[in-house]
Amino acid sequence: MTLEAFRKELKEGIPSVLPAIQDYDTSLNHAPKRKEILSTEEKKLALKNALRYFPVEQHTVLAPEFAEEMKNYGRIYMLRFKPKHKMYARNITDYPGESLQAKSIMLMIQNNLDHAIAQHPDELITYGGNGAVFQNWAQYRLCMQYLTEMTDEQTLTIYSGHPMGLYPSHKDAPRVIVTNGMVIPNYSKPDDLEKLNALGVSQYGQMTAGSYMYIGPQGIVHGTTITLLNGGRKISKNGEGLAGKLFVTAGLGGMSGAQPKAGNIAGCISVTAEVNAKATYTRHSQGWVDEVITNLDDLCARVNLAKKNKEVVSIAYQGNIVDVWEKFDQENVYIDLGSDQTSLHNPWAGGYYPVGISLDEANEMMASNPDLFKEKIQETLRRHVAAVNKHTAKGTYFFDYGNAFLLEASRAGADIMAEDGINFRYASYVQDIMGPMCFDYGFGPFRWVCATAKAEDLEQTDRIACEVLEEIMKVSPVEIQQQMADNIRWIKGAQENKLVVGSQARILYADAEGRIKIAAAFNKAIKEGLIGPVVLGRDHHDVSGTDSPYRETSNIYDGSRYTADMAIQNVIGDSFRGATWVSIHNGGGVGWGEVINGGFGMLLDGTDDTDRRLRSMLFWDVNNGISRRSWARNDEAVFAIKRAMATEPLLKVTIPNYADDDLINTIY
């Protein structure tokens, strides 16, 4: 398609003449059929809702077609309206429109739907099985049309994928405000989502899917590398590294696909089980996992050889993870580190597959007999945990990887509770590792995308970021030296590790000082013409963006981990301090109703206005969360917020006083 035709299609929005029906693309990985949840009356409502996007004279054609989609997929995706243009992040100058900021948002939306990145591109799902960018193709088309029309004096509001409209605002306001899955708290059970989503009035945005900030598995490679390195430090007896040690986990999907690569970077042997052959071979062909093995005996032999030779190798096991844990127990294959990254935030709709039945059978059962499917899942979870427990009894260090494994296993009645009956046997990686070592100090998954789509720009930004960090490290306090060193090592190896899938993007853990200085240096380089515009953002899985009691805020111990003030304050604060777009979601990572999380995107265009905005917004975006973590009496965060106050006279944060336990114990 020519550039002109591409621009025309974006500007056209929903075409006035019905486009031809398209063949169902069997080469793509499709979302499983969602379970039937609507009554007949509700199905009528869903149809009427879908038809709102189209002129009345098209309804006689579209109504039966959409009803058929509802019957076949459990959702109305409006597949006829899939655009003809290829989905990928183009150079920002290719996008039509009045506002450079709006163009940067179009670029990021297309990146989230890129076939090399998106898990179920036709169903507009980026990752995590149900992390949607839009609910249907009409929303995509309408949103893109609005973005091509908008000026820097307008703001577009998106309600769970639905573009409500353009509203007058001002140039310092966000160009887009996204909300996903926001519901009245009493209606936030998993089936409420299924129903609202089937009706076409709400969606699960995951974290960076519904906020257009997903950058493929690289985003999590870095976090996983840090987790493994620090996990390795936890199990290290004499300061030795991970060489020759075995890490066992599951999932080669959207984010879980980063695990083998992280294992290689951290320098261990990794085995990652994956039930879906498409996912396995996609990651293998992308070079994210070194070898694929389909037989358990071969797997044991290969792992033993790798251990003997202290190889750094990542192995995919094509099959169910439960079989691996059980087989390694029988064959006495010692596992040093263990975890799991199946999509247990979404256990009943394809996030976690039962052992002993094929993927196709499981997908069929999920839709035709959801009760039996649920039984099979819970049975599998109990077996899974029983096998993990045998290994941990031998010394394996197992951690929850933020996928609701512990939570769902406990709900399934697995032997997962600690002796006190309140806590779990195992810690979440945030409690043990990421919380105290990263988030409390303000280190989190800062990221950027070079909006020119040029690899040379990414190289330049890597170089600039590295120089900034090295400069900061010279005067960093001892408390954060390890973090600084890990991140400098990461950025130095980033080019060689070939992490780019989709847009020219980079992730880098940094604290407030690092983020601001890197962003300001990029903005200066843009002004000087060294590089083109850059989009800044971050994962929601960060210091301030996410309230999630079993994950991001699991190391908050003052009772406030079930509150969501921090995430809400954060997104509001970002929106008036200069973000180009902001988003706030119910659900993400651990499931609907279990977490509130938000994020931002910010276009760096080399202007002085942007320099002002980035300083104000990034400072808030990190220090908001540090303040809350400090108020929860986390020592590392108290240290970090006092440091921030010393550098910024306008910052005044309430610092907690620590009560003496002996005094409290005399009272109760």
Ligand X SMILES: NC(=O)c1ccc[n+]([C@@H]2O[C@H](COP(=O)([O-])OP(=O)(O)OC[C@H]3O[C@@H](n4cnc5c(N)ncnc54)[C@H](O)[C@@H]3O)[C@@H](O)[C@H]2O)c1
Q: How far is the CB of 345 from ligand X (least distance, A)?
A: 4
Residue 270 touches ligand X, criterion: CB under 6 A:
no
Closest CA to 204 of 142, 258, 123, 276: 123
Residue 30 touches ligand X, criterion: CB under 6 A:
no
Residue 343 touches ligand X, criterion: CB under 6 A:
yes
Whether residue 633 contacts residue 557, with contact meaning beta carbons closer than 8 Å, is answered with: yes
Q: How far is the CB of 321 from ligand X (least distance, A)?
A: 4
* 242: DSSP letter: S
Interface residue with ligand X, options 161, 205, 210, 251 (CB under 6 A): 251
Closest CB to ligand X among 202 and 343?
343
Q: How far is the CB of 442 from ligand X (least distance, A)?
A: 17
Interface residue with ligand X, options 174, 253, 532, 533 (CB under 6 A): 253
Residue 265 touches ligand X, criterion: CB under 6 A:
no
Distance CA 249, CA 266 (A): 15
Closest CB to ligand X among 31 and 47?
31
Distance CA 56, CA 632 (A): 56
Closest CB to ligand X among 169 and 276?
276
Task: Tell me which stretch binds ligand X (CB under 6 A): 247-255, 297-305, 409-417, 460-468.
Answer: 247-255
Half-sphere exposure of 301 (CA within 13 A, CB side): 6
Interface residue with ligand X, options 231, 232, 254, 606 (CB under 6 A): 254
Residue 256 touches ligand X, criterion: CB under 6 A:
yes
Residue 49 touches ligand X, criterion: CB under 6 A:
no
Size of the site for ligand X (CB under 6 A): 33
- DSSP assignments along 272-314, one per residue: EEES-HHHHHHHHHTTSSSEEE--HHHHHHHHHHHHHTT--EE
Handedness of CA 177, 181, 187, 192 (dihedral sign): positive
Distance CA 576, CA 555 (A): 29
Whether residue 199 contacts residue 239, with contact meaning beta carbons closer than 8 Å, is answered with: no
Q: How far is the CB of 633 from ligand X (least distance, A)?
A: 25
Q: How far is the CB of 377 from ligand X (least distance, A)?
A: 9
Copy the structure tokens of residue 325: 């844990």
Q: Which residue has the CB atom at the shortest distance from ligand X?
A: 253
Task: Tell me which stretch binds ligand X (CB under 6 A): 165-173, 345-353, 644-652, 659-667.
Answer: 345-353
Residue 452 touches ligand X, criterion: CB under 6 A:
no
The DSSP bridge partners found for residue 30 are none
Restricted to residues 277-296, the positions that interact with ligand X (CB under 6 A) are 279
Distance CA 421, CA 239 (A): 34
Interface residue with ligand X, options 101, 111, 403, 546 (CB under 6 A): 403
Closest CB to ligand X among 540 and 577?
540
**The dihedral formed by the CA atoms of 526, 528, 529 and 532, expressed in degrees to the nearest 10:** 0
Distance CA 267, CA 157 (A): 45
Phi, psi torsion values for 337, nearest 5 degrees: -125, 140
Residue 202 touches ligand X, criterion: CB under 6 A:
no
Whether residue 434 contacts residue 556, with contact meaning beta carbons closer than 8 Å, is answered with: no
Q: For 171-183, give the secondary structure using H, E and C.
A: CCCCCEEEEECCC
Closest CB to ligand X among 148 and 256?
256
Closest CA to 171 of 157, 151, 156: 151
Residue 160 touches ligand X, criterion: CB under 6 A:
no
Interface residue with ligand X, options 31, 106, 213, 255 (CB under 6 A): 255
Residue 341 touches ligand X, criterion: CB under 6 A:
yes
Distance CA 279, CA 397 (A): 27
Question: Distance of alpha carbon 192 from its chain centroid, rounded?
Answer: 22
Residue 548 touches ligand X, criterion: CB under 6 A:
no
Q: How far is the CB of 63 from ligand X (least distance, A)?
A: 32
Distance CA 503, CA 630 (A): 36
Q: How far is the CB of 203 from ligand X (least distance, A)?
A: 16
Task: Tell me which stretch binds ligand X (CB under 6 A): 166-174, 183-191, 336-344, 655-663.
Answer: 336-344
Q: How far is the CB of 144 from ligand X (least distance, A)?
A: 25
Q: What is the CA radius of gyration of the chain?
A: 24
The angle formed by the CA atoms of residues 518, 588 and 615, to the nearest 5 degrees, is 20
Q: How far is the CB of 183 from ligand X (least distance, A)?
A: 19
Interface residue with ligand X, options 140, 212, 288, 401 (CB under 6 A): 401
Closest CB to ligand X among 51 and 500?
500
Residue 587 touches ligand X, criterion: CB under 6 A:
no
Binding mask 483-522 for ligand X (x = CB under 6 A): ----------------------------------------
Would strands 444-450 and 546-547 be described as parallel, antiparallel, or unpaired? unpaired
Non-local (6+) Cβ contacts of 375 within 8 A are: none
Residue 128 touches ligand X, criterion: CB under 6 A:
yes
For the chain, give the longest Cα–Cα distance. Answer: 78
Residue tagged 């769902």 (tokens): 408
Copy the structure tokens of residue 92: 């920002």
Residue 127 touches ligand X, criterion: CB under 6 A:
yes
Would strands 154-159 and 176-180 be described as parallel, antiparallel, or unpaired? parallel
Copy the structure tokens of residue 545: 């963006």
Residue 129 touches ligand X, criterion: CB under 6 A:
yes
Task: Tell me which stretch binds ligand X (CB under 6 A): 16-24, 397-405, 418-426, 610-618.
Answer: 397-405
Residue 223 touches ligand X, criterion: CB under 6 A:
yes
Residue tagged 């690569």 (tokens): 261
Q: How far is the CB of 50 from ligand X (least distance, A)?
A: 26
Q: How far is the CB of 433 from ligand X (least distance, A)?
A: 10
Residue 402 touches ligand X, criterion: CB under 6 A:
yes
Residue 344 touches ligand X, criterion: CB under 6 A:
yes
Q: How far is the CB of 101 from ligand X (least distance, A)?
A: 27
Residue 318 touches ligand X, criterion: CB under 6 A:
no
Distance CA 214, CA 108 (A): 8
Residue 140 touches ligand X, criterion: CB under 6 A:
no
Q: Which residues in this chain contact ligand X in the complex, by CB under 6 A?
A: 119, 127-129, 220, 223, 250-256, 273-276, 279, 320-321, 341-345, 351-353, 401-403, 541, 589
